[in-house]
Amino acid sequence: MEIGLSGAAVLDPINNTSENVLGTFGNLFAIAMLLAVDAHLVMIDALAKSVHMIPIGSALHAEGLHAMVRSASVLFGLGLQFAAPVVAAILVANTALAILGRAAPQLNILSVAFPIQIGIGLIALSASVPFIGAFYHGWSGVYANTLDHAFTALSRGAP
The C-alpha atoms of residue 54 and residue 71 are separated, in whole angstroms, by: 18
> Is the pTM for the entire model greater than 0.85?
no
DSSP bridge pairs for 9:
20
- In terms of Cβ atoms closer than 10 Å to its own Cβ (0-12, 13-18, 19+), residue 125 is buried
pLDDT number for residue 24: 77
DSSP 26-68: HHHHHHHHHHHTTHHHHHHHHHHHHHHHS-TT----HHHHHHH
In tens, the pLDDT along 52-96 reads: 777 777 777 777 777 778 778 877 887 888 788 888 888 898 899
In tens, the pLDDT along 103-140 reads: 888 878 777 888 888 888 888 888 887 877 777 666 65
